[in-house]
Structure 1
Amino acid sequence: MADQVSPFLRTIFTDITGGMLSHQLLGKCATQEMDMMDCIEAYGFDRGPRKCYSYIEDFKECQGKTKQFMRFVALRKERDRQIACGLLDGDKKYKSPKIDSF
């Protein structure tokens, strides 16, 4: 984690391009990134990854959306199982959810 936060060799080019790898400009994950960076700054590079594990995981989830994708896969698998068992047939196979149902 420390190699992503602070460059090994600091030059004027790392200062100019450092903001390009941030979510602070028009990013959906800006608040999670800021919470993570504040925590790591408070504890330092050595203890930060251990103490700020929950903030780091929240930021990774916001970036990658792995839990959301796994939920989608589980729902698709359940629908395919219901189609194979004969519980869903015809027009019910691919019915859209009702408006404001979630």
Structure 2
Amino acid sequence: MDFTPIFRTPVTDLTGCILNAQQSKRCRGYEMHFYECMEAYGIPKGYKKCSDMFEDYHECLNLGKQKQRVTAMKAEQARQYREGTLPKPYAADPPKIDSY
């Protein structure tokens, strides 16, 4: 969780801005809250105090829980179709042509 380089050089100063989420509209708020918290508490205390903000930021970047949720829903639909509860593999009909 520590993002500071071991040795600070002009090269690390120039390339430090490459790895951020400020270009992404979805995650920029999470990143700013996390870094503001880390700045307020400092590195040693920030590990404990800002861990929930880091988890939210990490989830926004990687979408791990969302992918698990989608996988679980697909598995449940497949199970219901195999048991005969659902008449077809997908629960919803596709929209009609030119329906929008």
How far is the alpha carbon of 1:27 from its aligned partner? 4.8
Counterpart residue type for residue 89 of structure 2: K
| Percentage of identical aligned residues | 38
* Counterpart mapping for 1:73-84 below 5 A: 73-84=71-82
How far is the alpha carbon of 1:6 from its aligned partner? 0.9
Instruction: Identify the residue that residue 88 of structure 1 maps to in structure 2.
Output: 86
Structure 1: which 5+ runs fail to align? none
TM-score by length of 2: 0.85
Tell me the alpha carbon deviations over residues 24-46 of structure 1, each in whole angstroms, 9 at most, x when there is no partner.
Answer: 13453111001000001111110
How far is the alpha carbon of 1:95 from its aligned partner? 4.5
Distance 1:33 1:39 in 2: 10
Q: Cα distance 1:97–1:7, how it changes in 2: closer, same or farther (>3 A)?
A: farther
Structure 2: which 5+ runs fail to align? 96-100
